[in-house]
Structure 1
Amino acid sequence: MARILIADDEESMRLLVGRAIAMDGHEIVTAEDGAEALEIINEQGGAFDLLLTDIKMPVMDGIALALAVARDFPELTILLMTGYADQRERATGLNAIVHDVVTKPFSVADIRTAVADALAVKNEG
């Protein structure tokens, strides 16, 4: 199964998403913000199949994280999450590097489907 890094500043969100995705047998690693996520990715040489990150976070937001990851690890699939319409608009210009943007609130089924879709596209490529 896939190795997925979840970056979200809300612990409840990291737990919910982590549990949901783990139901499909994926290995989950979590980070509290973009800076921590980038540190983990760099330390592990980009050894993840998917980065699932919230857009609005302190220290380093999901857009800055996505840009850094896409530059250094272009093979890593990126899926963004946001509960804010203006943040979703900010992500529109990132279509070349971001697979999709999942709008919060979402159900467990929604996030599992979004992750499965992102991984399917990665495996086709």
Structure 2
Amino acid sequence: MGGEEVVAKVLLAEDDDSVREFVSRVLVLHGHSVIEATDGAKAVELMNTHHFDLLITDIVMPIMDGISLALKVRSERPHVPIVLMTGYANESQRAHNLSVLIEELLAKPFNKDQLVAAVNKALSSEAKVKKGAK
């Protein structure tokens, strides 16, 4: 019933433990598998050793921010959809300027329904791209 859900392997980069745990728990409850990173540099290490279908990243993180991470993922894995999360209005504007890079922007605080909707939208856009590719 409802929208078509795509089960995915998600790379989640978030330095805030409570937000990372919330997002991970919601995604797992919806059938996704989650690989967690506490900063952008760790996410890059994980990206180099794991396959994933979706990147969800906070913008403001230590070592490498989410926008730098998104640019790296887009250059190396152009088919992977990206969802950015932020609690800062000025970072939100930076993300909107990158609308060609990302599928969704989630403004913190968000609830589980907003998260699930953003993930489903990002994954369905990826499914459409793959179907159209060949």
TM, length-normalised to structure 1: 0.95
Report the Cα offset of residue 93 of structure 1: 2.2
Q: CA RMSD in A?
A: 0.8
Match of 2:119 among 109, 112, 115: 115
- Which residue of the partner structure matches residue 88 of structure 1? 92
Where do 1:1-125 residues align within 5 Å?
Answer: 1-44=7-50, 47-125=51-129
* Structure 1 runs (4+) greater than 3 angstroms displaced: none
- CA drift of 1:11 comes to 0.9
Which one-letter code corresponds to 1:55 in the other structure? I
The higher radius of gyration belongs to 2
CA displacement 1:51-95 (0-9 Å, x = unmatched):
000000010000000011111111111100001000011112211
Report sequence identity in percent: 42
Measure the CA separation in 1 of the matches of 2:19 and 2:117: 17
**Which segments of 5 or more consecutive residues in structure 1 lack a partner in the other structure?**
none
The match for 2:3 is none
